[in-house]
Structure 1
Amino acid sequence: MILSKENLQHVAATAVSLPTAGLFELPEKVLQFGTGVLLRGLPDYFIDKANRAGVFNGRVVVVKSTNKGDLSDFDQQDNLYTLCVRGLEKGQAVEENIISSAISRVIAADADWSSIMELALSKDLKVIISNTTEVGLSLVEESIRQNPPVSFPAKLVAILYKRYEMLKEAAGHLVIIPTELIPDNGDKLKIIVREIAAYNQLDDGFNAWLDVHVTFCNSLVDRIVPGKPADQELADLTASLGYEDQLLAMVEPYRLWAIEGDERVASILSFSQVDPGVVITSDIEKYRELKVRLLNGTHTLSCGIAVLSGIDTVKNGMNHAALHQYIKTVMQQDIIPAIPYEVEAQEAFAFSDVVLDRFANPYIAHLWLGITVQYTMKMKIRIFPLLAEHYALNLEAPAHLAFGFASYLLFMRSVEKDGKYYGHYNDQEYLIQDDQATHFASAHAAHPDPLAYFNQVFDNAAFWETDLNDLPGFKDAVHLHYTNMTKQGIAAALLSFNQHHSTSKS
């Protein structure tokens, strides 16, 4: 049995939370660019939850902007899909299955642009959401009168200008929320919209209308949504649910959608009332810093240690006593005090506990090697600001950051083979996917001695865009850990390190 509106009557309510008939009659209030699992597992999750509570009372029209894939699964299933929430919350297992009815239609922009332009004239439309990848928020100088325009921002301008032309003030207020993972995404989208308007020589009244009737919100999304599970797990879920669902997606319990907005934004986004995971505030930077430093930064500092230790997934890393201890203490001892933004210590420690639960999620197989992709960029963006803030407050080297940086340098020691770069450690070979891999391979080729390699890469201020030797004691600390790793092995080095830095807060 395929999941569909007609077949809902045959689905056991004991296995899954079902939508009621009235939810299918709600007006279309949201236009969403993107069909991916993140949007279906986070914004659409919140909208569906609010609709069930009788709060937001609006459905989502989804725009498929790319030529990849088709809409057959959405069409066959009447746009219904199952979210399987699995993971840990405050150390307790969470298992929940929800059939979402948030989506009313999915429209292919290339095939039916006229339907999207028709929706632009709906007075019910209140919200536009996007997740078009970071590349999607870029300026393409093109006519908005194409059928359709190529880029997402040009499509958006076409929709907004149509609304301005035909409705003017009668359009009501519109909230636009990009969820692409770049800082100040709403501000950047607004700038691009204005540049496209100028390129198309739209009248000045349009810009004035934008200022009054449209709010672009910066936002931050945070939820791990792996999507459809592997074959055997999917087969087991299908058997327990009693139906087939080609759109089924696994999601972790943790959820955050931080949106920068005022009281008017909050009143329009009334779905924020039903779940604490939606935060509407005047400044979302605190939430970005907590995520980037404690979640992403801890990933960055730990991934080299894990791969060199032969640990495949994050959840297995949390079952490895020495790595688990390092992950906990690097957050609590080195990262929290050095977050380059004012965050209450209690809030930061609470978030670190959430991160530990998320890392330990037994239902998500997150590969450490995948986390090492673009390792150098992540180190510079996520960790170097922590180093700077640490040294603004302390004169001693941050022990855990130094250990993580040492493992990164060891991981990146590589050779080129058939146009790809590989590291070798303890008889294992691993692929390095990093735009800067050639730099480390060249240093290793020129300086095969481990210490000579270390000095060559560490002392290259031009490469780091800062002189790491200006940080008191940092080179000595990193060198000590790097030497221990090369002579004793990563496992022994980590055990020894933990023994000397065993004090942690809880």
Structure 2
Amino acid sequence: MKQLNKAFIEGRKADQSMSYPKEDWDRLPPKVLQFGTGVLLRGLPDYFIDKANKAGVFNGRIIVVKSTAKGKAEGFDEQDGLYTICVKGVQDGKEVDEQIINSSIEKVITAAQWEEILTYADHPEMKIVLSNTTEVGIVYDKHDYLFALPPASFPAKLTAFLYRRYKYFKGDTQAGMVIVPTELINDNGSILKEIVLKLAHTHQLEEAFINWLESANYFCNSLVDRIVPGKLSYAEQEEMENRLGYRDDLMIMAEPFRLWAIQSDSEEVKKVLSFSEVDEGMVIADDIKKFKELKLRLLNGTHTFSCGLAVLAGFDTVKEALANPAMETFVKGLLFKEIVPTVLAQNLPEVEVNSFAKHVLDRFRNQSLDHKWINITLNYSSKMEMRNVALLNGFAKHNGNSPEYMALGFAAYLLFMKGNKRIDEVYKGYTVKGYYPINDEQAEYFAQLWKQNEGDDVVDKALKNQKLWKTDLTLIPHFSDRVKHYLSELQAKNVLQVIISVTGEMRSV
């Protein structure tokens, strides 16, 4: 079977059932410098850029910097930067099964080739920097040296690149760049800017450069949301390659849902990021707090209230749980009867809230994604505080009583956290399916709490622990009583029976 590359594309008539590159795809100029080769970048920002190129809108390609200095370009050279995105899942209640040959990447360069990378700073059309170097990538390293080949950290590499550009264009304010980090930290653009300025100061770079950094460049906060599992399983890869008629070592899977929200009120930013025009999943807005809130409460919050219950009920994956009528009814009730009304009370647009919630269900039902519940329980306690305490308080404030679905989800969380340290030094709980790991910073606290107390006392002490929740959750009317009730039920009965009793009762209300 032939490998996907430029020669294969030119020698094959375009298949109308999939998205092929436009004729002049390999002659478009480099306009984007991207730090990172990860699947999220390839499945979201690069997806938007490729779509815009095919529509004749952006007309630019990407130079990718491989984060590590060692190794090769991971097969990109052999495939001339081409790779397939398989988009599979449910969108607006309909099955989606699309294959897209992405031609947005011109070249992948390892950081060891730093001098070559710096030459792209001299290109007038190179106006954009993207990054996803993981959450620990945007950090200040006082030992980093800007003039190393290469500098160690991503912020230092970026500072060195911008300094080269400043020098080459003699401080021309028109040579500034739009920098959009996609790392999953709050205010990622603002934090990156602070570090870049700090590096410039500590290296005693000229004041004129620092002024240019601040006045000519745009560091934009952004939020990304798309599940991109990455490489297909061996069986899926083989089936897809036979179906498409070519071999692709860079093929990735992605869900249909996509959101890239970029914070900026600048018309210049919108002009430079012209690829935002071709897809409703990309948004440039003055304030992206709304999008953060929707994701945090509707998607992440639903995950966190459901994951312990799902594990205790014996479900391994999200799609498996949503295929069960009882669990599906619980998730829908939690989302639409309790979380959505609580979020709407914050005066967020009703149409957008309901649309996002419906997308959440579509994403949960995606049969092409093996999203494991046990992975969602990672750092369970901190996620419960960050995502859901505001929902509990918000529901009580606007309804005057305790949320039933949330109370059941919280009771399941407490029971999930009932574990003991095993021989391998990992805290583990137990269900009918066997042991499961409790990968949580509060695992020891809960192990001791359960060892020394019975159910009702566990609830009282856990809810009163302000170190966990930054508030006393027993102050929520009737919440403690409802959690105690559901914890007792979960300990005494089959978990699915408890879920059915709750969802049945709530349907009759």
- How big is each residue's C-alpha offset from its partner over 1:101-148, in whole Å with a ceiling of 9 and x where there is no partner? 100010101x20001111112111111001011111111122211111
Corresponding position of 1:441: 447
Aligned counterpart, 1:428: 434
Secondary structure at the counterpart of residue 410 of structure 2: helix
User: Percent identity at matched positions?
Assistant: 45
> What is the aligned partner in structure 2 of residue 263 from structure 1?
267
Partner secondary structure for residue 86 of structure 2: strand
Tell me if structure 2 keeps the 8 A contact 1:294–1:352.
yes
5 Å matches for 1:65-144? 65-66=67-68, 70-109=72-111, 111-141=112-142, 142-144=144-146
- CA displacement 1:293-335 (0-9 Å, x = unmatched): 1011101111111111111111111111111111111111211
CA distance, structure 2, for counterparts of residue 157 and residue 303 of structure 1: 41
Residue 212 of structure 1 and its aligned partner are, at CA, apart by 2.1
Partner residue, 1:31: 33
Match of 2:287 in 1: 283
Root-mean-square deviation over aligned CA pairs: 1.7
Are the equivalent residues in 1 in contact too, given 2:90–2:363 (CA < 8 A)?
yes
Q: What TM-score, normalized to structure 1?
A: 0.96
Q: CA deviation at 1:346?
A: 2.5
What secondary structure, in the 3-state scheme, does the structure 1 residue paired with 2:149 have? coil
Equivalent in the alignment of 1:243: 246
CA distance in 1, matches of 2:443, 2:188: 29
Asked if 1:322 is matched to 2:326, the reply is yes
Aligned residue among 321, 340, 353 for 1:348: 353
Instruction: Summarize the alignment of residues 25-424 of structure 1 with structure 2, pairs less than 5 Å apart.
Output: 25-66=27-68, 70-109=72-111, 111-141=112-142, 142-167=144-169, 168-169=171-172, 171-261=174-264, 262-339=266-343, 341-418=346-423, 419-424=425-430
- How many residues get paired? 502
TM-score normalised by length of structure 2: 0.95
Deviates more, 1:414-423 or 1:3-12: 3-12
The 2-side partners of 1:392 and 1:187 are apart by 33
Partners of 2:322 and 2:468 in 1: CA distance = 33
Task: State the 4+ residue runs in structure 1 displaced beyond 4 angstroms.
Answer: none
Q: What secondary structure sits across from 1:501 in the alignment?
A: helix
- 8 A Cα contact 1:336 1:345, kept in partner: no
Paired amino acid for 1:248: M
State the distance in 2 between where 1:385 and 1:198 align. Answer: 39
Query: CA–CA distance in 1 between the matches of 2:254 and 2:145?
Result: 39
Q: Greater shift after overlay, 97-106 or 433-442?
A: 433-442
Kindly state the Cα deviation for residue 17 of structure 1 after the two structures are TM-superposed: 2.1
Tell me whether 16-25 or 254-263 shows the greater mean CA deviation: 16-25
Residue in 2 that maps onto 1:6 = 7
One of 21, 24, 48 as aligned partner of 2:23? 21
The structural deviation recorded for 1:263 is 1.7
* Equivalent residue letter for 1:159: F
1:35, distance to aligned residue in structure 2 (A): 0.1
Counterpart residue identity of residue 266, structure 1: K
Q: Aligned pair in 2 of structure 1 residues 444, 71: CA closer, same or farther (>3 Å)?
A: same
Supply the AA of the counterpart residue of 1:241. L
Which is further off, 31-40 or 18-27? 18-27
| Counterpart contact for 1:11–1:242, Cα < 8 Å | no
Question: Could you report, residue by residue, the CA deviation over 1:3-51 in whole angstroms, capped at 9, with x for unpaired residues?
Answer: 1111223446335322133011000000000100110010001000101
Secondary structure in 2 matching 1:279: strand
Q: Does the Cα contact within 8 Å between 2:53 and 2:60 map onto a contact in 1?
A: yes
Per-residue CA deviations over 1:315-362 (Å, capped at 9, x if unaligned) read 111111111111111111211222384311222111111111111111
| Cα distance in 2, alignment partners of residues 503 and 9 from structure 1 | 62
Q: For residues 183 and 114 of structure 1, what CA distance do their matches in structure 2 show?
A: 32
1:56 positional shift: 0.3
Could you tell me whether the CA contact under 8 Å between 2:389 and 2:469 is conserved in 1? no
Structure 2 vs 1, CA of residues 411 and 74 (structure 1 numbering), >3 Å: closer, same or farther?
same
Moved more, 234-243 or 341-350: 341-350
